[in-house]
Amino acid sequence: MTIKTDEFRTTLIENLVSPAQLAEQIPLSDDTANFIIQSRKDIEAIINGEDDRLLVIIGPCSIHDTDAAIDYAKQLKALHEHHKNELLIVMRVYFEKPRTTVGWKGLISDPDLDKSFHVAKGLNLARNLLMEINELGLPAGTEFLDMVTGQYISDLICWGAIGARTTESQVHRELASALSCPVGFKNGTDGNIQIAIDAIKASSVPHVLYSPDKSGQMCIYQTHGNPHAHVILRGGKTPNYHPDDINSTLEKLTSNNINAGIMVDCSHGNSYKDHNKQIDVAKSIASQIIAGNKGISGVMVESFLVEGNQKVIDKDSLTYGQSITDACVDLTASQTMLSLLSDAIKQRRN
Ligand SMILES: O=C[C@H](O)[C@H](O)COP(=O)(O)O
Ligand SMILES: C=C(OP(=O)(O)O)C(=O)O
C-alpha cells in the first residue's frame, strides 16, 4: 500500500512530552495531594447539601499571565481564609477557551499569545501555576475542554466544569464520568437546561473512554461514573438566576432524582456579558439564600486584578491583571460580592 488517503489536511508540528514526564518535572507532594483530596470532599459535601456553606468559583475568565494569576491567587487566599466559615472559595483557573467561532484558545494552546502554539510550554506553565496555587492552600477549578490535556493537570484540579458549548457532547460526558473531581455542567448557550440534566445522568454511569494514559499510550478505560455532577445556570438568551428559574430547575432535578444543588454563574448569559451586572446576580442569589433557599449550592464569578477586558493588539503592552477574554470584576467588587454572599449564609443560619 503506497497511496496515502488521509492526513492531507494536517502537518505534524512536534511530539509532546507525556503527562508522566511533565509530572516528573513538576511533581505533586503528599501534602498537596492530601489538600486536593480533602478540598474535593469539602466541595462534594456542599453540592450534596451536607455542608451549608456556599461554593464560590471565582477568578479570571482565562489565564494568560501566570505572574498576574499568582498575584491574584495570593489576594484571593486572604478572602478564602476570611470567609471560610460561610464560603468555600475555589480559584477559577481556566486554561482552555471554547470559542463561538475563532479566537485565542487559552494558555495551553498558545501561551505566547501570538499563534506560535507552544503547547509544551503551555502545559508546563499550567501545571506549575496549579501547583503553586494549591501550595498556597487555595483549591483550583478549571474547564475540561480538550480530551487529551486533562491527563497533564487533572491531578491538581479540585472542581471541573463542562462548558455551555460541550455539555451536550457525548465525549465530554464520558470524560466527566472519569474525572476524580466534582463536575458542573453548564446549560446551553441558548438557555437549554435539559441538556445539563441529561449530562448529569449520562456522566453518573460507567462508560468506555478512549484516552492516552499517563505515559501517552492510547488506552481503553472503563470509567466508574461521577456521582458529584451538578448544573450550572449561566443564562442563555435571557438570564436564568431569578427565583422562578431556580425553583423550576430544582423541580426538574427532583423529578430526575438528582440530589445536587445548583451553581449560578454570575457572568456570561446571566450578566449579558457586562461585568458590572455580575453584582446584580450575586445580590439576587444572596436574597434567595436569606429567604431560605437551600437549593443554590454554588456561584461562579469572573474576577481579576483589574476590571473589564482588553484586546491583544501588542502582547508586550498589555494592562497587567486585566482579562484578554470576557470582562471581569476587579478585586474590590469581588470583595463586596463575597461579603454579601457570606452575610446571606449567616442570615440563613439565624
Ligand atoms: O468565557 C468565555 C467566552 O464567553 C467563551 O469562551 C466564548 O467566547 P467568544 O464568544 O468570545 O468566542
Ligand atoms: C466559556 C465559559 O462559559 P460558558 O461555557 O458558559 O460560555 C467559561 O466559563 O469560561
Kindly provide the ipTM of the predicted complex, given to two decimals. Answer: 0.97
**Each residue of 195-211: pLDDT tens digit?**
999 999 999 999 999 99
Ligand 2 within 6 A of 163 CB? yes
* Closest C-alpha among 307, 310, 312, 314 to residue 333: 307
Ligand 2 pocket check for 94: Cβ under 6 Å: yes
Sign of CA dihedral 193, 197, 200, 206: negative
Query: Which residue do the cell numbers 427565583 mark?
Result: 243
Residues lining ligand 1, CB < 6 A? 61, 97-100, 103, 268, 325-326
Ligand 2 neighbour 98 (Cβ under 6 A): yes
Alpha-carbon dihedral 291, 295, 298, 302, rounded to 10 degrees? -70
- Chain mean pLDDT for the chain: 98
Per-residue pLDDT tens for 201-238?
999 999 999 999 999 999 999 999 999 999 999 999 99
Report how far ligand 2's centroid is from the alpha carbon of 87 (Å): 22
Confidence at 21, pLDDT banded by 50, 70, 90: very high
CA of 115 to the centre of ligand 2 (A): 22
Cβ contact 304:287 at 8 Å: no
Q: Is the pLDDT of residue 16 over 90?
A: yes
Rounded Cα gap, residues 59 and 68, in angstroms: 11
Q: Which amino acid is at 288?
A: Q
pTM for the model stands at 0.98
Average pLDDT of span 167-179:
98
Q: How confident is the model at residue 328 (pLDDT cuts 50, 70, 90)?
A: very high
Per-residue pLDDT, averaged over 155-184, amounts to 98
- Tell me the C-alpha distance between 255 and 244, whole Å: 16
In the chain, the percentage of residues whose pLDDT exceeds 70 is 100
- Check whether 1 has a pLDDT greater than 90: no
Residue 16 Cα, ligand 1 centroid: separation in angstroms?
Answer: 27
291-316 mean pLDDT: 98
Closest ligand to the CA of 190: 2
In one letter, which amino acid is 340? L
Question: Does ligand 2 have an atom closer than 6 angstroms to the CB of 92?
Answer: no
Ligand 2 centroid, distance to 164 Cα (angstroms): 6
Please tell me if the CB atom of residue 234 comes closer than 6 angstroms to any atom of ligand 2. yes
The reported pLDDT for the residue numbered 48 is 97
**Which three three-digit cell numbers place residue 289?**
439564600
326 CB neighbour count, 10 Å cutoff? 17
pLDDT at 296: 98
